[in-house]
Amino acid sequence: MFDRLPTRLDDAAIVSAAIRALAREGYDRHRIEDALIRQAPVDLDLLAECYERMFGHSGGPVLTDRAA
């Protein structure tokens, strides 16, 4: 049925840009992870690494959840 596997989010630049864009929209870490995972398969180690690099171990700035 399918000739190839779905695109995987495994490029640090793309994952970082997506995290940044979602954070600017007010998504918290959980919602960012959910949004990216729903979009395409994601290397979860890379996702965590990019997030920590951007916001630090504390989770960085407090981001509000848009659904709240």
Please check whether residue 41 is in contact with residue 11, taking contact to mean a CB–CB distance below 8 angstroms. no
Please check whether residue 45 is in contact with residue 11, taking contact to mean a CB–CB distance below 8 angstroms: no
Measured from the Cβ of residue 42, the count of other Cβ atoms closer than 10 Å reads 17
| pLDDT tens readout for residues 21-68 | 999 999 999 999 999 999 888 999 999 999 999 888 655 544 444 444
Closest-CA residue to 65 (of 18, 21, 32, 19) = 32
Domain boundaries defined on the chain: 12-55
- pTM greater than 0.85 (yes/no): no
Report, in angstroms and rounded to the nearest whole number, the Rg of the chain calculated over CA atoms. Answer: 13
Residue indicated by tokens 């990216």: 36
